[in-house]
Amino acid sequence: MTTTDWQPTACILCECNCGIVVQLEGRKIARIRGDKAHPASQGYTCNKALRLDHYQNNRARLTSPMRRRPDGSYEEIDWDTAIVEIAEGFKRIRDTYGGDKIFYYGGGGQGNHLGGAYSSAFLKALGSRYRSNALAQEKTGEAWVDARLYGGHTRGEFEHAEVSVFIGKNPWMSQSFPRARVILNEIAKDPNRSMIVLDPVLTDTAKMADFHLRVQPGTDAWCLAALAAVLVQENLCDDAFLAEHVHGADTVRDALRDVPVAEYAQHCGVDEELIRAAARRIGTADSVSVFEDLGVQQAPNSTLCSYLNKLLWILTGNFARKGTQHLHSSLAPLLGTATGRTPVTGAPIIAGLVPANVIPEEILTDHPDRFRAMIVESGNPAHSLADSTACREAFRSLELMVVVDVAMTETARLAHYVLPAASQFEKPEATFFNFEFPHNGFQLRRPLLDPLPGTLPEPEIWARLVRALAVVQDEDLRPLREAAQQGRQAYTEAFLGAVASNPTVAKLLPYVLYETLGPTLPDGMAGAAALWGLAQKVFMTYPEAVRRAGHADGNALFDAIMDNPSGVTFTAHNYADDFALISHSDHKIALEIPEMLDDLRGLAATPAKLTTPDMPIVLSVGERRAFTANDIFRDPSWRKRDADGALRVSVEDAQQLGLVDGGRARITTAAGTAEATVEVNETMLAGHASLPNGFGLDYIDDDGRTVIPGVAPNSLTSTTWRDAYAGTPWHKHVPARIEPCRADANSYA
């Protein structure tokens, strides 16, 4: 049956989560277009969103809980059996070894974060402490730097910036800020604005840039140090801003005065005058915004690069003004505050996350504090983490592993139990990637469809598991259930009283909200109950900004979220508020980080190349392309080109290595080997090759055959190639050997 009504929802393929409206034909998402009512995207969307039915209706969907048999095969079981056995299994692990031996990975993909909120209640009830997710492969080095500089996360206001700087970032393909392509085009067409791109690849964004600093792979730190040094050595810093708002600036400037710009330019392969011209453009602009991403965050010196690129806008005072860099409000923090060390390897825990690269080592050991059990929610670490072979071995060794997902993923096939979740379009859902300033928005998406029979939304899955633990009694919840029937104010008073008087209720807040407030919400929306608590917290944290956005208090904000399916603006800041958002007691930026200054000085002792005569090529894995997306797109038929995920190589390397366009090549790294189709491409530097993200996932085609298009990137990466501070992987700098497959080598000859 065709539904002519356009229903608002969102794209779930990148952190932007652009608003879209859709029409349904039965359970098929038949038509998709941008939602003009969405406060951030305003009707914008890229080509990838138009393929979302490939996620919703792919034949890999699970429709029953699955239990692994002793022989490794799986059998369907009913939900009651699954919940009882899983709860008993985790209680056994807790009672035998301690709840801290239960490890949690995930918490939501690009667009489903609500489930992760509810899983926290189950984890706390068990005493589980350690967790990780995809952000531990990307953002923890930056988070380590941010915590010391100002205690929060920043985002550039590119829509109004005179100069936009993209470091290891190709927003034309990876988006990451609202209306990315529209804004990039506006910048490129405006003679009064400039774009600076630091990237070894001639990306789509680099082609639009006024300054393309085409560094040799892995030398980003030298280029960034040279840029910052020019700002200091040519007196382009904002002395008044530094004196009023920054501590430690003099120490940092002293270190940068010693940087030999010409020598560093030569090392990174960028013309010295181009570096100086780019630095002067930054230093003389009225407004500058900067975005760093995986190109540097998954490469050597990644944490140092995060520090150095932030010097570019701090030294020039590009903060708390229109078009500059901003701290921002959050509806819910994506990163935690927990620190410490992992129990086996002693790796640093940053922003509450165990480094992804140490996870196999935390399991594959006889250490008494090793992880014994694992929960994976909306994630596929057996495919997405470095060294897939080590990950699979580790996961197979666990005493209990439970996966919550919509499909039988590579990780799910290693689990003892797999619980089928409703899709992101079959339940209330949201993303907490809310990074904008001065106006920050949030969208609660309504379910477009009922859950597929046999599946459950994650909030209900976690509620059933908490119930099975019997840690909360019905008498604890009854007063809150009664108050919820009386209205928001009565519930607010009862909730605050219960939290203050009952430690168990205080520890399991998402579950309590789901069980008590959830039943009073509109049909199918019980999973939104946790947002009530977040709305109260947001109002207490940013009361004036919430009122300025039109919400009198936390209850009014929650009601606005519930009543506006295309999203709401939840905070409206003034530019001066940026300084109040600095978490240090004096609300000043602490620029001096001794470890980073030591590393800056250490760049003078140029290290040997990581490549070797046997592995002479730098392989970058996980490149974003027009027809790549995250792992939720298991059906490869959405791709209209690059169906095999080609290995891109330079013209020079193709000639030297005997590779032919469209031919096949064998890729060898220290971790493994793979074969790929070759694309000879002028965008690549000599000695640099790339493979895309999103490939190497198996799928059953129309003929019932299992197909695995392209290369699974992490069959070639290593857990030992990682940042010294954050443990983030060097996916963008993998030493490799590339050679033609035999048939192609013969044809070339």
Per-residue model confidence as pLDDT tens digits over 641-651? 999 999 999 99
% of the chain beyond a pLDDT of 90: 91
Domains of the chain, first to last: 1-57 (3.30.200.210), 66-138+332-420 (3.40.50.740), 154-327+580-601 (3.40.228.10), 609-740 (2.40.40.20)
- Assess contact for 329 and 440: CB atoms under 8 A: yes
Digit-coded pLDDT (tens) for 573-606: 999 999 999 999 999 999 999 999 999 999 999 7
- Assess contact for 14 and 170: CB atoms under 8 A: no
Mean pLDDT of 717-721: 95
The pair of structure tokens assigned to 76 is 């369907």
Q: What pairing do the DSSP bridges indicate for beta strands 417-420 and 66-68? A: antiparallel
Distance CA 282, CA 714 (A): 37
Question: Which position has the token pair 């006024």?
Answer: 210
Distance CA 510, CA 531 (A): 9
Q: What share of the chain is helix, strand, coil (3-state, %, to 5)?
A: 40, 20, 45
pTM (predicted TM-score): 0.96
Cβ count near 345 (within 10 Å): 17
For residue 608, give the DSSP letter.
P
Question: Which position has the token pair 């290595």?
Answer: 657
Mean pLDDT of the chain: 95
Residue 744: its pLDDT value, please?
Answer: 56
The pair of structure tokens assigned to 650 is 């330079």
Length reported for the chain: 749
Q: To which H or E segment does residue 222 belong?
A: helix 220-233
Give CB contacts under 8 A, 24+ apart, made by 131-134. 131/103, 131/104, 131/105, 131/107, 131/352, 131/353, 131/354, 132/103, 132/104, 132/105, 132/353, 132/354, 132/355, 132/356, 132/359, 133/105, 133/106, 133/107, 133/353, 133/379, 134/356, 134/379, 134/384
The pair of structure tokens assigned to 628 is 């790549």
Distance CA 122, CA 108 (A): 16
Q: What pairing do the DSSP bridges indicate for beta strands 348-349 and 163-167? A: unpaired
Residue 749: its pLDDT value, please?
Answer: 37
Residue 3: its pLDDT value, please?
Answer: 57
Mean pLDDT of 517-537: 97
Residue 661: pLDDT over 80: yes
Three-class secondary structure assignment of 57-88: CCCCECCCCEEECCCCCEEECCHHHHHHHHHH
- Assess contact for 152 and 581: CB atoms under 8 A: yes
